[in-house]
Amino acid sequence: MHDVTADGAGVAGVSYSAFSGWADRPTDFAPMPEGELTCDIAVVGGGYAGMATALRLAERGADVVLLEAGFCGWGGSSRNAGYLSNALAGDPRLLNTLYARRLPDLVRYADEAARFTEKLIGRLAVDCDYEPTGNVIAAVSPGQLRRTERNAGILRRAGADVEFVEGRDFGLPHTFLGGVFERAGGLLNPGKFALGLRDALLASDVRTYERTAVRAVEPHASGVVVSVAGGRVHAERVVLATNAYSRDLAIAPRRMVTPVWTSLVETEPIAPERLVATGWTRRTGVITPHAILENYRPTPRGTIMFGTRRLRTTRGAPTNREPDDAVVADLLRGFHERFPSLVDVAPRRAWGGWIAMTSSLLPVAGEAAKNVFYAIGCNGHGLAQSPYLGTLLADRLAGDRRHEDLTAVWRTRPRFAPSVLSAPTLHAAWTIDRVSDRFHRRRTLSSQKR
């Protein structure tokens, strides 16, 4: 078995990255602005949300400036696990309790988001290894299986394109008993997707500036002034697409998002027949319904990538970092438990990124101050949702009536409840998951002995 002990020097054999394992940093940075610029709309942040917003506004004839602190795609957009999913964050039963009347609208929004982003990949011809396999919220215990069956029913009644499936028949790895099959979406390389969007952006009429951190956004009688190190941008309107980093800006509504650090690990390549021997004959992404999910997916590099389980948060501004040793070691333990026949397979790489969680578990869009809008906080589901949300906001700013899917997540007032996410609550959720895993292991062992 591969050594999972973490001694502060990193898990043996794993190379830790402070960026992403999916793509290399570009070397051809867009310029930094100098002096005074004017435009119709300034977009702050160049992740999926900001790039999609800017591209759509430019298509609609607006004069757009995009300002990105690093390079476009630098944040979660290049780092994520690559599940293009039609799911909302949060357990469906909880969502049904919190949003009984709104759930069909929210489900329609999430479903449309997956289809929109799939079409966007095709329309821009982005080569990002997209495989339309769908994804499965897959149970590892009979208790979880009952919960996923009930959740499939809740989602279907709300109009979601999902189905309850059994593991053996469906081609899931043997430890997974079945779950909710989300038919829309699939798996892709998010780094290639983000850099493909960046190529489209740099080729468009959008004036893009990189290595340009916005320091202040100030509404004035005649528009909005955006301050950066080298000068100022005078815009009629501004879109904040700063996601987990929104706390850095005073104009962003207080408590809008809680940044949560999420980690991923990738193995060495595995012979295809060994993968098939685990029962994973259908190359769907697998996500568990634990309080804090685990995810496992095959990659086009012949490796397995897995993540989450243990989350970190911060009270201050999110700073760039590498995953913690303890988190990587814990993820590896999870991998060994779910794939016992692959314990000899070595982990090779680890990286992570900040996601933006909201207290409502829903993405948020609205007007933070006069002429300052935001499209933020997809709660770890932004691969499908962020480009869609940005595009819907762009259409609204270009003069369209507010689309019903934008209305589904629109905030009429920029007021946000305090988050329950803190180091103690995240640790408690992790502990509950491990206790339930242990309980299931013991039951399985005693039924095997009988």
Ligand X SMILES: Cc1cc2nc3c(=O)[nH]c(=O)nc-3n(C[C@H](O)[C@H](O)[C@H](O)COP(=O)(O)OP(=O)(O)OC[C@H]3O[C@@H](n4cnc5c(N)ncnc54)[C@H](O)[C@@H]3O)c2cc1C
* Residues making contact with ligand X (CB under 6 A): 44-50, 67-70, 74-77, 79-83, 85, 213-214, 241-245, 248-249, 262, 264, 307, 352-353, 355, 378, 380-384, 386
Shortest Å, Cβ 137 to ligand X: 13
Which of 289, 380 has the CB closer to ligand X?
A: 380
Shortest Å, Cβ 53 to ligand X: 9
Which of 201, 244 has the CB closer to ligand X?
A: 244
Shortest Å, Cβ 113 to ligand X: 9
Query: Roughly what angle, to the nearest 10 degrees, separates helices 190-203 and 382-397?
Result: 20
Which of 228, 275 has the CB closer to ligand X?
A: 228
Which of 14, 241 has the CB closer to ligand X?
A: 241
Shortest Å, Cβ 240 to ligand X: 8
Which of 33, 76 has the CB closer to ligand X?
A: 76
Shortest Å, Cβ 114 to ligand X: 9
Shortest Å, Cβ 160 to ligand X: 16
Which of 301, 340 has the CB closer to ligand X?
A: 301
Indicate the length of the chain as a whole number: 450
Shortest Å, Cβ 214 to ligand X: 4
Which of 75, 223 has the CB closer to ligand X?
A: 75
